[in-house]
Amino acid sequence: SIWHGLADQVVDSANAHLLAEQWSGVHGIEHGSASLLADGSQVTTWGESGRPNVELCMRPGLPHAWPADATAGIARFWGVLD
């Protein structure tokens, strides 16, 4: 689970995309499935629906910071939290 702020002026968002592409390549998955959440976040997943191998969450308006809900989102992705 990779999270990146679209307002980040320190780390280029292209890095998050490249990281997701690298991990999806490790899993042998070429194409992701993109969706737009109600808060404007762009989420792309690679792998099986409901249990993807790779997830990229791009958050609008988020600068170079850790979003408050990222820990819970990542824990859900890894199956640690329902």
67: pLDDT confidence band, cut at 50, 70 and 90? confident
pLDDT of residue 64: 95
pTM to 2 decimals? 0.88
Of the candidates 71, 55, 67, 65, the residue with the CA atom closest to the CA atom of residue 20: 55
Using the predicted structure, report yes or no on whether residue 82 has a pLDDT greater than 80: no
Angle of CA points 35, 64, 60, to nearest 5°: 30
pLDDT tens digits, 18-59? 999 999 999 999 899 999 999 999 999 999 988 899 999 999
Which residues 6+ apart lie within 8 Å of 76 measured at CB? 82
